[in-house]
Amino acid sequence: MCKIAQKGAEMKEKLLEEFRRVFGREAENVYFAPGRVNLIGEHTDYNGGHVFPCALTIGTYAAAAKNDDHTVRFYSMNFKDKGVITANIDDLKNERSHDWANYPKGVIKVMLDMGCPFVSGMDILYFGNIPNSSGLSSSASLEVLTGYVVRELFGLEIDFVELAKIGKKAENEFIGVNCGIMDQFAIAMGKKDNAIFLDTADLSYEYAPIVLENAKIVIASSNKKRGLNDSKYNERRGECEAALEKLKTVLEIHSLGELTEEQFEANRAVIGDPVKERRAKHAVYENQRTIKAVAALKANDIEEFGRLMVASHNSLRDDYEVTGLELDTLVEASLAQKGVIGSRMTGAGFGGCTVSIVKTEEVEEFIRNVGGLYKEKIGYAADFYVVDAGSGPYTL
């Protein structure tokens, strides 16, 4: 048995055993959905632009079984102190005391509202190896996984694009975070050794192989906790929407993602607010950077890809103002290291992670040096993950 298969078998048995302990019966199966990292294209998804994420080989697992009553019982091995959280499927609402379980509750509520035929409740046990609040989409992974579990348990005919849409709807309407589709789409549609070049305006996409000769993707978690709901995420989105409305008075457009840099520069004055101008500038330029970055990757120009990553971070720092001391420290320390091709914050910002492309032979020293510099300046440690592009949801 290969190491990956052995690890999967061990994880499956671990979850089955814990399910027996918690619920006193057997699970029907064990399921997995990945986390994701966005290589470039940040805060463009809700602006009708392009993104370039890939699913990861780390993510969220669930053991589940239908039950004989009308309740859903949730348990997380990551939040054992919360115990079993129980909800009636006829009365699913966002309850502060239910904490993390509001995410799967939201997905189930959306599926019920769609008319999905649930004939019973269910018991679901979760375990995730994505750092919480890291920017690697632990919440979207949980949402897509829950949709996949329900699909499998009840034999529903729902494709993976629809699972992504269900997760986004749950996050928008049940949780109250006005996120775009990128996270859920990347997780649902992940393909091993590929990233997804996605046009969020119409959900057209193509897979692009991640061919990094003698280089690795290294994620650094700042360990500064942040929640999208508590951040300025919705505020940034509102600023972009306000800028778009002003631009619509002189241009026939539906989103900022339709503009080239030249079109934006020729019309930016109509926005009439310097802050909103900067927000819109980021959305427009970041979209074009993403298009150029994928073209560079296809041409095997990894140096240009890295340059565009750095330009992305600078724009997120200066024009969008979503980086902060922790993420800026990680990127600055990363770019000072030998063998680094590119580095940038990834995710919504305000904490979370950076993603760097590092020459394989320099990875160990990179982690040691960046980790040391970060702890010295910030006062606590960062965590590092050398990752590969993984697949979307599957049954173990």
| Domains by residue range for the chain, with CATH | 3-208 (3.30.230.10)
Give the alpha-carbon dihedral of 384, 387, 391, 396, to 10 degrees: -70
Q: Does the annotation mark 183 as catalytic?
A: yes
pLDDT value at 377 more than 80: yes
pLDDT in tens, 197-254: 999 999 999 999 987 889 999 999 999 866 554 568 889 999 999 999 999 999 999 9
Selected catalytic residue, list 183, 273, 318, 319: 183
pLDDT value at 318 more than 60: yes
Could you tell me the pTM of the whole model?
0.88
Average pLDDT of the chain to the nearest whole number: 93
Banded pLDDT at 133 (limits 50, 70, 90): low
pLDDT in tens, 9-45: 899 999 999 999 999 999 999 999 999 999 999 999 9
